[in-house]
Amino acid sequence: MPKKVLSIVATAYRATLEEQDDTVVWLMHALRGAGAPVDVLLRGNATNYAVKGQDASGLAFGERQQTQPPRVDQDVAKLAANGARVFLVEEDLAERGIERAELITGVESVARAALPTLLAGYDQVWHW
Amino acid sequence: MAARKILTFAIMDAPYESARSTTALRLIDLALRRGCDVNVFAYEGAVAVPFAKQQPHPNAVHGRSVEEEDHPNPKDWVGALMAEAKKRGLTFNWVQCGLCVDERGATEWIEGPRRGSPADFWKFVEASDNTLVIPTK
C-alpha cells in the first residue's frame, strides 16, 4: 500500500513567470504520474491558485515575448481532474474575499478547526 | 533637450526563485522604454540571472516539447533588454559582483555584463538620478 501524502502549499506565485507554473504544483503532477497518491492543501496566499480565469499573459522584455504564461488555476484543476483531492482552507478564502463561485471545480474547502482530523488521515504531510 | 535620466538598480535574487527577479527586469524594461539609461549591479544570487548555460527544456507535465514550451531563460530576457537598449541608443551597464561570481562559480554569462565590484555600484549611484534596491528576503 503506497503511503498517502498531503502536500500543503502556502507560498504563492514564487517565480511562476519564469517557471511557467508553480513548481510545487508541478511536482505533485509529476509525483502522481509516478504513482504517488498525493493530495494537496492550498492555504494562505496559495488559496488564490484555485480562482478560475487567471491570466498572466503579456509579459515581454524588449522583443522577447512569453508565449506560454503560467496557468496555475488550470494546473490545479488538472490535479483534481486526475484524482487528487485539492483542499482549501475556508478561513483563508474568506480573509481574501474569495467567493465559492470564483473557484475552479473539483476543490474542497475545509475549516481550520478540521485540519487536524484531515492531516491525521495521511501517512505523511509535507509543508512547502 | 533635457538630458536623459539615469537609473541604477541593485538586484540580489537568483533566477527561478522569486517573483522579484522578473519584477526587476520588468522595471528595467519600462525604464528603457521611457528613454532612461540603466545601470544594474547584480549582487549575490543575481549574478546567475545572465548565466550563459541556462537551457530551455521540454515539459512532460504540460505535455509540451521544448519548442512548444518556449521556456524563458532569464539570460535571454537580459539579452533582449540589452538589444532593446542598443536599438534605442541607450546605455545599459550590467555589472556582476566579482566575489559573488567566484563564490558561486557562475563565471560564464552572456555577452554584455561585465565583472565588477561594489565600487562600480557606487560609481553608478553617484552618476544616477536615482537608485532602486530590490533586495532578497
Mean pLDDT by 10 residues, chain A (128 residues): 91 94 92 92 98 96 95 97 97 97 97 98 94
Contact residues, chain B, for A61 at CB < 8 Å: 25-26, 29, 77, 80-81, 84
The Cα B54–Cα B119 span in angstroms is 28
The Cα B75–Cα B52 span in angstroms is 7
State how many domains chain A has: 1
The Cα A60–Cα B33 span in angstroms is 12
CB-based contact (8 Å) between B62 and chain A?
yes
All 3 cell numbers of residue A24? Answer: 510545487
Residue-wise over B72-106: b if at least 16 C-beta within 10 A, else e? bbbbbbbbbbbbbbeeeebebbbbbbbebbeeeeb
Range of the domain at A111: 5-127
Handedness of CA A88, A90, A96, A102 (dihedral sign): positive
According to CATH, what is the number of the domain B6-134?
3.40.1260.10
Contact residues, chain B, for A81 at CB < 8 Å: none
> Nearest-CA distance from B62 to chain A in Å?
9
**A vs B: CB pairs below 8 A:** 70
Q: What is the ipTM of this complex?
A: 0.74
CB-based contact (8 Å) between A112 and chain B?
no
Q: Look at A61 and B77 and tell me if their CB atoms are within 8 Å.
A: yes
Can you give the residue ranges of every domain in chain B?
6-134
CATH number of the domain at A79, please: 3.40.1260.10
The Cα A77–Cα A57 span in angstroms is 19
DSSP assignment, residue A104?
P
- Probe site for chain A from B20, B62, B64, B69 (most A CB atoms < 10 A): B62
pLDDT (tens digit, 9 = 90+) per residue, B56-113?
999 999 999 999 999 999 999 999 999 999 999 999 999 999 999 999 999 999 999 9
Model confidence, pTM = 0.84
Q: Please give the C-alpha separations between residue A20 and each of A9, A48, A57, in angstroms, as whole numbers.
A: 17, 16, 10
DSSP assignment, residue A52?
T
Q: Please give the C-alpha separations between residue A58 and each of A21, A94, B63, B74, in angstroms, as whole numbers.
A: 15, 30, 22, 16
Residue A25 near residue A40, CB atoms below 8 Å: yes
